[in-house]
Amino acid sequence: MYKPQYLNVDRQEKTVMAGNTVYFCKVTTTPLGYQKKPPEKIANKSGRRFAR
């Protein structure tokens, strides 16, 4: 499944409480880079093969 890179971030919420209600909420995001590394090149196996 395709996952855009902008979704691959680590979100951390920090809430400041005033009494028992939320006064301020700060979300910090740290990008985790690409989810997976790009696939490696596969050797071209087309054509005739000779026994060795």
pLDDT tens string 15-27: 888 888 888 888 8
pLDDT tens string 1-51: 555 555 677 888 898 888 888 888 888 888 777 666 667 888 777 777 776
Question: Can you give the residue ranges of every domain in the chain?
Answer: 1-32
Picking from 50, 8, 14, the residue whose alpha carbon sits closest to that of residue 33 is: 8
Measure the CA angle with vertex 26, ends 21 and 29; round to 5°.
145
What is the rounded distance in angstroms from the CA atom of residue 36 to the CA atom of residue 48? 34
Predicted local confidence at residue 9, as pLDDT: 79
